[in-house]
């Protein structure tokens, strides 16, 4: 994506670098959990100006912020930053220097939030389209791994998928209560006790390339004189169905349209208010999960290197017996994948699902959660994913994705075939990875 007013003169690297650092096992385990200030504890007490100083090292800027009960969501010039009491998630694209922000993040946590030890750390990214354009340690995966190994003594690096095709790179440390897991000289701290989580830690990513011309077009539209980047992006989100991915009454959406092209959005989702989840909450136990999550979307629409990403941490079931087509119901995993892919219509896509493995149980058929997820991926994509082709006379913008459309619109099916399937067990986490490509369009 481009900055407002910037002319795109070179390929833009859409695939993001994703850094997630936990300083405690849960929000309830941060040192000041019992003494909030204005409802904030841990890292959420850190002033925004401090995070902006860190982001200057990374080479990106804050565009806007929305705050919920548990999360502050920063929309950036290059992707997103999410701050929770016990963890920070930094996702950046282009040629940003994501990892160079890590030492400053560690310093902020130690000196501003009294959390000098790292509980666990994750760093991941899809294979770059233009690796030669990257800077610093991001020039090469081995350099990134070495940078992280210099900070952590209990890390491991993985290459998931085909080396000569789309693949996903992961570095992770094991959950650790020992401040010595850091190679840095930060002061020691007795780590807080584990607090039981009602739902697993859960992250789904859908990484899409070669978007169809129909899907790309809205993200290159021009603004009217009365529109701002935010108002244009919110209108666009409604017209193409982004606001329908999750129930609107549970979602707070923050979006931005870039000029001359590109789009980003963050959303906070009150999934704990959905009856499916609220009925599972055991109010007799102290729990860190009260039911707020996020999703984030970033789109680079230029032909030749088009890319869109969707990431979400709402703990979705693979499928649900009740209907998930209702706008007031949190979707299951199969429905979510179908909705997202229907909007962006990629020629190729990779999916990763990361779930904490403690107490993971097989479903009624005896399949593991990872196999259940793989079945949901396949069910969502290998049946035709429907899209509507409209006549030029009726235009392509400003119509509701989920509502009625022109009578001249024709539905066609985009069906995918799976090209890779990998399940991993990392000890504390399980991973499902799959890649698909379009093989018919009729």
Question: What is the DSSP code (8-state) at residue 373?
Answer: H
Burial state string for 36-73 with b = 16 or more CB within 10 A and e = fewer than 16: eeeebbbbbbbeeeebeebbebbbbeebeebebebbbb
Site of tokens 């984030």: 296
> Do residues 46 and 258 make contact, with C-beta atoms less than 8 angstroms apart?
no
Which residues are bridge partners to 433 per DSSP? Answer: 352, 422
> Do residues 442 and 369 make contact, with C-beta atoms less than 8 angstroms apart?
no
User: Catalytic pick from 86, 232, 298, 338?
Assistant: 298
User: Catalytic pick from 79, 191, 288, 435?
Assistant: 79
User: Catalytic pick from 20, 26, 78, 93?
Assistant: 93
What's the rounded Cα separation, in Å, for the pair 282 and 380?
A: 32
What's the rounded Cα separation, in Å, for the pair 414 and 139?
A: 35
Residue 312 annotated to the active site: no
Residues contacting 228, CB < 8 A, separation 6+:
none
User: Catalytic pick from 117, 257, 264, 309?
Assistant: 264
Residues contacting 306, CB < 8 A, separation 6+:
14, 209, 210, 211, 216, 300
Residue 13 annotated to the active site: yes
Residue 79 annotated to the active site: yes
Question: What is the DSSP code (8-state) at residue 133?
Answer: G
What's the rounded Cα separation, in Å, for the pair 233 and 254?
A: 9
Residue 138 annotated to the active site: no
Q: Residue 100: in which H helix or E strand, if any?
A: none
Question: Which two structure tokens, joined as six digits, stand for 53?
Answer: 């100083």
Nearest by Cα to 386 from 407, 408, 409, 419:
409
Specify the 3-state DSSP secondary structure of 106: helix
Residues contacting 387, CB < 8 A, separation 6+:
212, 214, 342, 345, 411, 412, 413, 414
Question: Which two structure tokens, joined as six digits, stand for 85?
Answer: 């009491």
User: Catalytic pick from 13, 20, 144, 311?
Assistant: 13
Q: Cis check for the bond before 272: say yes or no (omega within 30 of 0).
A: no
Strand extents, DSSP E, 258-384: 263-269, 293-300, 307-312, 346-356
Specify the 3-state DSSP secondary structure of 44: helix
Measured from the Cβ of residue 193, the count of other Cβ atoms closer than 10 Å reads 11
Beta-sheet pairing, 79-83 with 167-173: unpaired
Residues marked as catalytic: 13, 16, 79, 93, 264, 298
């Amino acid at each position: 994506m481009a900055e407002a007013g910037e002319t795109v003169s070179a390929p833009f690297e859409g695939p993001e670098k994703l850094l997630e650092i936990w300083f405690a096992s849960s929000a309830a385990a941060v040192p000041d959990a019992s003494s909030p200030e204005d409802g904030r504890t841990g890292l959420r007490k850190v002033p925004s100006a401090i995070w902006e100083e860190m982001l200057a090292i990374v080479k990106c800027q804050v565009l806007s912020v929305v705050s919920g009960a548990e999360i502050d969501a920063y929309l950036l010039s290059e992707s997103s930053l999410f701050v929770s009491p016990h963890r920070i998630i930094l996702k950046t694209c282009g040629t940003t220097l994501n990892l160079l922000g890590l030492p400053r993040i560690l310093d902020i946590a130690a000196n501003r939030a009294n959390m000098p030890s790292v509980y666990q750390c994750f760093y991941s990214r899809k294979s770059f389209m233009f690796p030669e354009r990257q800077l610093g340690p991001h020039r090469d995966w081995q350099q990134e791994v070495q940078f992280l190994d210099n900070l952590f003594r209990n890390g491991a690096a993985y290459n998931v998928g085909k080396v000569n095709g789309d693949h996903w790179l992961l570095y992770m440390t094991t959950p650790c209560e020992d401040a010595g897991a850091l190679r840095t000289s930060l002061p020691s701290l007795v780590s807080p006790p584990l607090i039981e989580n009602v739902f697993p830690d859960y992250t789904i990513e859908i990484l899409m390339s070669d978007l169809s011309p129909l899907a790309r077009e809205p993200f290159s539209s021009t603004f009217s004189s009365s529109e701002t980047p935010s108002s244009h992006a919110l209108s666009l989100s409604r017209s193409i169905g982004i606001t329908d991915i999750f129930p609107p009454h549970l979602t707070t959406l923050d979006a931005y349209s870039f000029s001359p092209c590109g789009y980003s959005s963050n959303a906070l989702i009150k999934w704990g208010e959905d009856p499916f989840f609220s009925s599972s909450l055991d109010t007799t136990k102290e729990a860190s999960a009260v039911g707020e999550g996020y999703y984030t979307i970033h789109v680079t629409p230029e032909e030749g290197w088009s890319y869109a990403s969707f990431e979400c941490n709402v703990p979705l079931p693979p499928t649900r017996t009740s209907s998930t087509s209702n706008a007031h119901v949190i979707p299951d995993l199969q429905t979510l994948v179908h909705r997202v892919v229907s909007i962006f219509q990629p020629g190729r896509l990779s999916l990763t699902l990361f779930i904490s493995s403690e107490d993971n149980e097989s479903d009624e058929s005896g399949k593991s959660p990872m196999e259940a997820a793989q079945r949901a991926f396949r069910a969502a994509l290998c049946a035709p994913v429907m899209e509507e082709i409209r006549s030029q006379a009726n235009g392509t913008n400003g119509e509701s994705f989920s509502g009625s459309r022109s009578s001249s619109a024709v539905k066609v099916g985009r069906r995918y075939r799976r090209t890779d399937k990998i399940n991993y067990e990392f000890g504390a986490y399980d991973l499902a990875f799959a890649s698909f490509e379009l093989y018919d369009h009729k």
